[in-house]
Structure 1
Amino acid sequence: MSSRFKALALPVAILLILEGVVRAGWLPAYQMPAPSDVLLTLRDLAEGALWKHIGASLARVLAGFVIGASLALVFAAWVGLSREAEAYLAPTFAGLRSIPSLAWVPLLLLWLGIDETSKVVLIAIGAFFPVYHNGVAAIRDIDRKLVEVGRIYGFNRWQLVRRILLPAALPGLFTGLRSGLSLAWMFLVAAELIAATRGLGYLLSDGRETSRPDIVLAAIIVLALLGKLSDGLLAALEKRCLGWRDTFTGQPAEG
C-alpha cells in the first residue's frame, strides 16, 4: 500500500462517517453540515471571492513570517553564541513568549491602527518565538568537540560558523522555521479579526455571524490545505539542505 494512499485513508474515513451520520439525522445539519454540502460551498466560493481571500491571507502570512523569522534568526544567533547576550535578552523573550496572541490585538490596534501593518506585525510575533527558541537550542546543543576540532584546524570565527556551527544547527533551525510557519497561520486568524474585510479569518467570522457552518468549515479546510502545502515546501527545502544526514526514519512496515 503506497504512503499516499495511507495518508488519505483516515481523512476519507472521517468524511464518509460524517456524511453518513449527518444524512441519517444523528447530527443536525445546522451544526454540522454534510461534507458533500461543504464541498458545494467550496465550489461556490471558488467561483466567487475565495481567491481574493486566499491571496490576502497568503500575503499577510508571507510578510509576517519573513519578518518574524528573519529577526528571530538574528537574535537566536546572537544569544546562542554569546552568554552576555543571553543574560540580557533571554529573560525578556521568555516573558513575552507567554503572552497569548489575542492579548496583542488591542495594543496593536492602539499603536498601529486597523490597516495591514498591525496584522503583519501580529503574525510576525507569532512566527518569531518558535524560530528564536529552536535556533538558540540548536546552537547550544552542538557538540563541543566539533568546535574544538575546528579550533585545532585553525578555523577563524567565520569559518567556524560556516563549516561547523551552521551545518550542525540546521536541523534545529528547520524545526523552528516549520513551527514558526505553523504559528504564523494560527496567528493569521487573530490578525484578520482586526477589522479585516478580506482573508480566510474574515471568512470564518462572516460564516459565524451569518450562521453558516458550511462557510466556517470551508474556510477551515482551506486553511488546513494552505498550512499543509506551505509546510510541505519547507519540508522539501529541509530535505534538500540536509540530504547529507544519515538519520533514523522509523521501522519499516511489516508484512
Structure 2
Amino acid sequence: MSTTALAGTPAPPRQRPRSRSARSRFAFLRRWVSPIALILLWQLLCVAGVIGARTLAAPTEVVATGIDLVQDGTLGTETLISLQRVALGALIGGVVGLSFAIVAGLSQIGEDAIDPPMQMLRTLPHFGLISLFITWFGLGEMPKVTLIAMGVCFPLYLNTLGGIRGIDRKMLEAARSMHLTWRQQVRHVIFPGALPQTLVGLRQSLGIAWLSLIVAETIAADSGLGYMINDAREFFRTDVIVVGLAIYSLLGLGTDAIVRHLERKALAWRA
C-alpha cells in the first residue's frame, strides 16, 4: 500500500478515558454492594426462621423501631447526651494528649518525665478504671467524661510524639543553615512534619472515644445510647439494641469522616 493511501486514511477516533470523578463514583457504589448483600441475607435468614426474633431482630423490624424511637423523641435525646459526653471528653483528652506530646517531643527532660507514666497508664483496662472512677467521682458525668478523655489522650499522645521524633534530621539541619530560630523551626518544620501522624492519632482517638463511651454508658448511666441499649437488654429488645449500635457506628463514621476531611485540607501539599 502506498504512503499516499496511508496518509489519506483517517485515523480511528481515540476513545476518551473515563474521567476520574466518574470512576470514583462507581468505586463508591461498589463499596455498598457487600453491606447491602449482608443486610439482605440477614433479612432472608430472619424470614426463614433461621434467626429467631429473640436472637436478632430482622432489618425491617429494626428500621421500624428506629422510626418509632425518632418519633417519640427518645433516640434524639439519648444521642444528644452521648454526643455531649464524647465532645467534652475528646476536648479534654485532646488538649492533654497534645500538650504532653509537645513537651515530651521537644525536650528530652520532658520525655523522661512524661513518657514513663503515660506508657504505664495507657495499658490500664477500661473496665477496671470505670469501677475506680465511680468510687472516686460517683455516678454523675465525671467518670464517663474522664474515661473518654483517657481513651482519647493516649493514641493522640503516642502518634504526635512519634511524628515529632520522626522529623527528618536533614530538614532540621537545613533549617539551622537558614538561621531559623528555635521557635521558627518548631513552627515551620517540626509541627508541619508531625501533623500527618497527629491526624492519624486523632482518628484513632475518636474511635476509642466511642468505645469508651459504650463502656461508660452500659455500666454507670441513666441516660444516653448505652443506657438505652442496656435497658433494652433487660427486656430482650434486640431491635432497640441494634438501633443503638447502628447509631454508635454512624456517629463513629461521621467523626472519622470529619477528620479525614480536615486531613485532606490540612495536608493538601502532599501528593
> Structure 1 length as normaliser, TM-score?
0.94
Partner residue, 2:28: 4
Of 3, 11, 21, 2:45 maps to 21
Per-residue CA shift, 1:99-142, capped at 9, x if unaligned? Answer: 11111111111211111122111100110100000111111111
1:124 correspondence with 2:149: yes
Question: What RMSD in Å do the two structures reach over aligned CA positions?
Answer: 1.1
Structure 1 counterpart of 2:42, which letter? L
Structure 1 counterpart of 2:136, which letter? W
Q: Contact 1:57/1:199 (CA < 8 Å) preserved in 2? A: yes
Which runs of at least 4 in structure 1 moved beyond 4 Å after TM superposition? none
Structure 2 counterpart of 1:36, which letter? T
Q: Contact 1:65/1:127 (CA < 8 Å) preserved in 2? A: yes
SS at match of 2:31: helix
1:239 correspondence with 2:264: yes
What displacement does 1:195 show?
3.2
Partner residue, 1:250: none
What displacement does 1:193 show?
3.1
Partner residue, 2:12: none
Cα distance in 1, alignment partners of residues 156 and 79 from structure 2:
25
Partner residue, 1:183: 208
The runs of 5 or more residues in structure 1 that have no matched partner are 247-255
What displacement does 1:194 show?
4.7
1:136 correspondence with 2:164: no
What displacement does 1:94 show?
0.9
* Matched positions, count: 246
> Structure 2 length as normaliser, TM-score?
0.88
What displacement does 1:3 show?
2.7
User: Which one has the largest radius of gyration?
Assistant: 2
Per-residue CA shift, 1:67-88, capped at 9, x if unaligned? Answer: 1011100000111111222222
Partner residue, 2:61: 37
Cα distance in 1, alignment partners of residues 78 and 133 from structure 2:
22
The runs of 5 or more residues in structure 2 that have no matched partner are 1-24
Cα distance in 2, alignment partners of residues 10 and 157 from structure 1:
52
Partner residue, 1:212: 237
What displacement does 1:7 show?
2.4
Partner residue, 2:225: 200
